[in-house]
Structure 1
Amino acid sequence: MKVLEIIPSGDACGAEVRGVDLGEGLKDVVFDEIDAAFNKHSVIVLRNQSITPEQHIDLSDRLGGIVPHTFSEFCHPDYPQIFRISNLIEDGKPLGYEKAGVTWHTDQSYIETPPRCTTMFALEVPEKEGKSFGDTLFASTVAAYNALSDDMKIRLRGLKAVHQFAARKRRLGRESELSEAQKLLNPDVVHPVVRTHPFTGRKCIYVLEGECTGIVGMDDAEALPLIKELSDHIIRPEFIYRHKWRQGDLIIWDNCALQHRAESDYELPLRRHMHRTSVNGTSTF
């Protein structure tokens, strides 16, 4: 019988879970331990996995069920619950979404009930001369909140920020990638500037420059600098865990307790191909 080990990263977030083969299925008691480790560490990695799309979907369902993705053209043709992130080309067309996550963000904060977590399985990782590329950086919004001054914590109480679907694309000069139908299906939403984590009760800063367009009841002259100040604070080096991908990694990250960003430091012929799911969350409070 394998012994489950939880190895913390030593950073503000992150842990490796050892002694688990997802391909063999998970007993409830083992799943509960993994779920507890995830809630504690915010991002966990299970290395050397070999799973089918069905097993990936099953894990996501156990975590809370799958959120449909806005960019459905990049979903797996046989398993639409799975979103493909890839720089590969097949028959002259992109096999997946290549430019995912190149700025700091939390997944789908622009919807009314943002995902609890995201899972990503590494099928191919860009490598050259023994070095991997395309790291993902995770910033703990819990640690960032805890490090705020008491005065700032008081200032943020009760504030709500406006999250806009098109804003991040606009900031990158890529708004033309969005259809009018996608924009209409994703109107502006409002979330607390400081969220309470639904599983741990911990406080998390939940704003990001470029996607948050304002704060309810506050003039932009005050709101936008505050959003920038908080966004810059979240990504301070002491709050960050850098994940260096290996083929067979399965990562689960928390979209309330973290922000993340993917490094775009590779190009073909270096190949990157990932399967991703987004897992249902709860209303924000």
Structure 2
Amino acid sequence: MTGTEPSTGRLGGMREWKAEAGVFLSVAFVAAGVLGAVQPGTGIPTGVVQLTQFGPAAGVAVLALLRPARTRRRLAGALPGPRGADGSAGREALLLLTAPLIVVLGAGTYALLGGDARLTDPRTLEHPFALVVAAQLVGACGEEIGWRCLLQPLVRSRFGPLTASALVGLVWGLWHVQVLAQAPAYAAGFLAATVAMSVVLGLGLERVRANRLLLAGGFHTLVNLGMLLTMDEESGAVLPMVLFGAACLVAAVPWVLRGPAVSILTPAHGAR
């Protein structure tokens, strides 16, 4: 423990962990709903960025106001800083390469099955592609500062990296509440995708000491842009979403088999 926040023991630590997670998730869900409701009045097109993506960032901001020292500790490594000589550079490259792999697997399978998978010319989009890319990265970072930079370390303090990553991915998927109104197979494919991508991100960032936000946001952006240009999974069509989920699961397998240097079932030591 640091600063003015004394250690409260194991039971107190459990209460603190649950309280932090509860505050963050409550704000993330409510803020996303409010931001989604006000977006039409802002004139910001959803085809460029969805304001709901900043719900997790709002959760981080509120938690930072309530527990600044603990929140700073959770966010350690999110921003650029000194890099350790632990081979993380190779892991970072593999992490970012996994994003286009997911797109190729999903879109390629969809095309083989006769789906409408074709490369869209970025110049034909409704808005300038450079604007879409920049806005997508900002929006993705608005999510990832909450999911991978705060909630992942928080849950990781109680569970191993694999379990923590899967739990964060499940919450991440359920946070997209509108998906649950779709067909069951569509929702299942989406949840499979968020859990699998969260596992990739959680294991890929397990020992990365700097730039975690940009790496997670970059992965998120590459997947979003790839699917935007190759598939129509957001139309509500079941097959492309199911194949997208399956592609994410396949891409996660090497990360699980390879695993981090520490046990994938062991919680982080000394974290509260």
Q: Which one has more relative contact order, counting CA pairs under 8 Å at least 6 apart?
A: 1
Give the TM-score, by structure 2 length.
Answer: 0.27
* TM-score (normalizing by structure 1): 0.27
The structure richer in strand per residue is: 1
